[in-house]
Amino acid sequence: MSHTSAAQRYIVRPAASIRGELTVPGDKSISHRALMLGGIAAGRTLISGFLASEDCLATLAALAALGVRIERPQETLVRVHGVGHEGLTGAAGALDMGNAGTAIRLLMGLLAGQRFDSTLIGDASLMRRPMERVAAPLRAMGARIDTQAGKPPVRIHGGAALHGLDYALPMASAQVKSALLLAALYAQGVTNITEPAPTRDHTERMLRAFGVQLTAAAGRVSLAGGQQLRGCDIEIPGDFSSAAFFIVAGCLAAHDGLTIRGVGVNPTRTGLLQLLALMGADIELRARTEVTAEPIADIHVRAAPLRGIRVPEDLVALAIDEFPVFFIAAAAADGQTVVTGAAELRVKESDRLAAMAIGLTTLGIECELLPDGLRLQGGRMSGGRIDSHGDHRIAMAFAVASLIASAPIEIEDVANVATSFPGFAHLARAAGLALED
């Protein structure tokens, strides 16, 4: 099967080592934001390093349906002809966001202040995900938004007059923060958002690249409404969340070293590096530089013995998407690892805490599911059959587990890997994983 088509399952046999150099695709979070801000900017935005994944292509299709002309001369090069602050037009039908949780929540913010009605839907998984955490503060800004029992379809009624808001996020969430910042562009007055812990700040960095003035300091972001965005050139770094699978693989089996080139190392995203350092990992950032206000580096990893840790709760939000593969590192570590304060993982593409607990137990790792986390004991891992619950990060995490397993691991329901990491199987094989798809 070619690496561009969607496999239904992986069979991954134990492999002794991984090595070499590789480059992961562009950052998903930044690709979504570049399309949306480019769409409402005045003038042309050129996006290079775009992630051509199903999630990002859903955002591209939604903006096209809202009247934005977008060209893609190459797979990872996108030219967005922005329509300006007031230029979006109503779509002919519902906007289908597929599996993209980031896209549906950010679009709620972008569409809340438009003159026209919009409806947002998605695949079976997305239609089960909570939307009120975004809808409620948007209503406090004056938006008229309906959800169905708190979930999609999300119906946004046009013509609402939005006003600035002082809002303290009840939990750290970059998606909620970003949705409010997008709505704030269309609001009268100033919007102030306070977060209880740091979350990824890609939206703030990119708004500045498009010429928006905002202040961000000490857990508080302020933005005045009515500002015009100017088209610009955006270069997207390699996705840290995709690199994470190879970073952990390197910790387990890169005896001669593994280098991942040009990865975004925004400090609001790299909590995993701090967690692995606490476990004793041998990781070095080289060739540090910056592209479009985002720091990047080459990440060099060598295999090292890991020890179990209690994860500091202030690092949870900075590693939220990386926990599935972090749990594989914990399974390989000496001793016990405990994660708490991570209830957010229960409402991702799957209940990631439960899915990982079941999968690790299947492979012989002693594991206890907590209400907001997991306690597990590092140990010897056997093979077995894993249900990924259609969750791309669960599927890829268990592919990495093959490096410490004593027998093959069969991973079911892996088609959704294409939502975030097209070509994962191909790249994994190139690095040394014995993966069949």
Answer yes or no: do 279 and 159 share one domain: no
Answer yes or no: do 304 and 196 share one domain: no
Residue 3 counted as domain residue: no
**Boundary residue ending a domain (204, 235, 266):** 235
Answer yes or no: do 74 and 222 share one domain: yes
Print the domain residue range for 224: 28-235
Residues 135-168 have pLDDT tens digits of: 999 999 999 999 999 999 999 999 999 999 999 9
- Cα(85)–Cα(82) distance, integer angstroms: 9
- Cα(179)–Cα(198) distance, integer angstroms: 16
- Cα(354)–Cα(371) distance, integer angstroms: 10
Residues 262-316 have pLDDT tens digits of: 999 999 999 999 999 999 999 999 999 998 889 999 999 999 999 999 999 989 9
Residues 195-212 have pLDDT tens digits of: 998 888 999 999 999 999
The predicted pLDDT at position 4 comes to 37
Answer yes or no: do 401 and 291 share one domain: yes
Residue 1 counted as domain residue: no
> Is residue 416 over pLDDT 90?
no
CATH number at 271 reads 3.65.10.10
The DSSP symbol for 404 reads G
- Percent above pLDDT 70 for the chain: 98
Which of 151, 142, 130 lies closest to 184 in space, CA to CA?
142
- Cα(51)–Cα(381) distance, integer angstroms: 34
* Residue range 310-329: mean pLDDT, rounded: 94
247 phi and psi, to 5 degrees? -65, -50
- Catalytic residue positions? 321
Residues 336-349 have pLDDT tens digits of: 999 999 988 887 76
Q: Which long-range contacts (CB under 8 A, 24 or more apart) does 280-289 make?
A: 280/304, 280/305, 280/306, 280/307, 281/251, 281/306, 281/329, 282/251, 283/247, 283/250, 283/251, 286/259
**Boundary residue ending a domain (194, 217, 235):** 235
- Residue pointed to by tokens 């995203």: 269
Provide the residue count of the chain.
437
Number of domains in the chain: 2
Residue 2 counted as domain residue: no
Rounded to a whole number of angstroms, the distance between the first and last alpha carbons of the chain is 7
Residue 154 counted as domain residue: yes
* Residue range 87-110: mean pLDDT, rounded: 97
Where does the pLDDT of residue 103 fall: very low under 50, low under 70, confident under 90, or very high at 90 and above? Answer: very high
* Residue range 357-377: mean pLDDT, rounded: 97
> Is residue 414 over pLDDT 70?
yes
Average pLDDT, the chain: 95
- Cα(323)–Cα(218) distance, integer angstroms: 26
* Residue range 46-51: mean pLDDT, rounded: 97
What does the block give as tokens for 415? 């088609």
Element of type H or E holding 359: helix 352-362
Residue 4 counted as domain residue: no
Answer yes or no: do 257 and 216 share one domain: no
The predicted pLDDT at position 1 comes to 30
Q: What is the pTM of this model?
A: 0.90
> Is residue 2 over pLDDT 50?
no
* Residue range 14-37: mean pLDDT, rounded: 96
The predicted pLDDT at position 197 comes to 86
* Residue range 411-418: mean pLDDT, rounded: 91
Amino acid code (one letter) for 352: R
The DSSP symbol for 282 reads E
Amino acid code (one letter) for 120: L
Answer yes or no: do 144 and 265 share one domain: no
The predicted pLDDT at position 6 comes to 54
- HSE, side-chain direction, 13 A CA sphere, residue 304: 18
Residue 48 counted as domain residue: yes
Answer yes or no: do 275 and 412 share one domain: yes
**Boundary residue ending a domain (235, 257, 277):** 235
The predicted pLDDT at position 7 comes to 66
Q: Which residues contact 422 (CB under 8 A, 6 or more apart)?
A: 3, 4, 25, 52, 53, 54
Give the alpha-carbon dihedral of 60, 193, 185, 238, to 10 degrees: -30
